[in-house]
Chains A and B, each alone.
Chain A
Amino acid sequence: MIPPPGVIGVGLLAVMLVAATAALFARDLLVAAALFGVFSFAAATWFALVGAVDVAFTEACVGGALSTILFVSAAHRTRRWLD
């Protein structure tokens, strides 16, 4: 069985929840992209914490770095602000 998450785990899950919700409501697309990056790195740390190191590495690369870069480059081509 998976052990209970512990203080750090609960903190990371809370960060993920808050970052994901805040990204939904951010009016600045760059802020939303950055918040999504925060979510990804928290998720990666959480994966590493429960022992899935390869998954954590992939999440950090793809979610934290690549997706954020692509979101930023897409937001960069818009007017950046939601009306």
Chain B
Amino acid sequence: MSPAPGKTRLRHGVPRILGALAFAALLGGLVAGIRDLPRLGDPASPAATHVSPRFIEAAARETGAANMVTAVLADYRGYDTLGETAVIFAAGLGCLIILALAAADRRETPPPGLTHRFGSPILDVSARVLTPWILMFALYVLIHGHVSPGGGFQGGVLFGSGLVVVRLVRGRRGPAFGPGPRAALVLACAGVLAFLGIGFLAMAFGGEFLDYGTLPLGGDEAHVRELATLGVEAAVFAAVAGTVCVLFATISAGVRETEAARSAGSASPPGSDG
């Protein structure tokens, strides 16, 4: 890849060497910091001697989740997961804002030569056959996250990808499949709010924020925690799936107009039929 001269220079005359120096300094600092970390897999590190045994011993008994990773992510470290969900949602919002603004800047209609979908029968049939299974597997991953790898995050990504892949193959002229951008945004918001709501519900029933043990769901505490964990995973699922749909919608709607307008003047090189 050898970009044309003049395209690589940053604006306002900032020399590239400054960026390279800053990058080298940051990299050097990070590499130097590695020496202070405990060695990978060191059985004598604090995490291995204090934290992990506690989780390994008590996770199944306290939370009813055979998959310890789910117990840690959704219950013990629920606060972290809430933050991550909010970050993903915020990233989707940022993408939406930036790309929608870019699209609003250029409202030219795309030239008629560009087709906005992949027009192959193989892709079409593959999408038709695979998509129902992808969506069902996503729900399985969400529900079965207690006992097998997976959970709300992976399930949400799979579900969103399954919806998006149909749109990618069928294009805009195909049938409207899955939630539209607005509905997807509402779904993502609802997911984040549901996560927060479960946390506050726990507080309302006398527990700590995101400490599900006090929720009045019936049964012993481990069972209650299991149900609440499933609720949290479903909230993450909705947030992630909605964000994925929003991301795809902004990319396919926003960038299309800008890029199409930019490339309208120049002829495509031979072989670019996509």
| A63 CB to nearest chain B CB (Å) | 10
Cβ of B4: which chain A residues have Cβ within 8 Å of it?
83
Q: Is B89 an interface residue (CB 8 A)?
A: no
* Contact A72/B168 with A62-B157, A80-B272, A81-B269 known, Cβ cut-off 8 Å: yes
Q: Is B184 an interface residue (CB 8 A)?
A: no
User: For window 148-173 of chain B, which residues contact chain A by CB distance below 8 Å?
Assistant: 149-151, 153-154, 157-158, 160-161, 164-165, 168
Q: Residue on B with the closest CB to A2?
A: B41
Q: Residue on A with the closest CB to B73?
A: A54
Task: Tell me the bound Cα distance from A58 to B153 in angstroms.
Answer: 8
* A77 in contact with B150 (CB, 8 Å): no
Of the stretches B15-23, B25-33, B196-204, B255-263, the one at the interface is B255-263
* A70 in contact with B247 (CB, 8 Å): yes
Q: Residue on B with the closest CB to A65?
A: B161
* A66 in contact with B260 (CB, 8 Å): no
Interface string of A1-29 (1 = CB under 8 A from B): 11000000000000000000000110100
Contact of A79 among B116, B141, B251, B272 (CB under 8 A): B272
* A53 in contact with B251 (CB, 8 Å): no
Task: Tell me the bound Cα distance from A7 to B252 in angstroms.
Answer: 42
* B residues whose Cβ falls under 8 Å from a Cβ of A: 1, 4, 39-42, 67, 69, 116, 118, 141, 149-151, 153-154, 157-158, 160-161, 164-165, 168, 244, 247-248, 251-252, 255-256, 259-260, 263, 266, 268-269, 271-272, 274
The 19 listed contacts between A and B (C-beta, < 8 Å) are A2-B41, A30-B274, A54-B69, A57-B141, A57-B150, A58-B154, A58-B157, A61-B154, A61-B161, A65-B161, A66-B160, A66-B244, A69-B168, A73-B164, A73-B248, A73-B252, A77-B255, A80-B274, A81-B272
The 7 closest A-B pairs by CB, nearest first: A61-B157, A54-B69, A53-B149, A77-B256, A57-B149, A54-B149, A2-B41
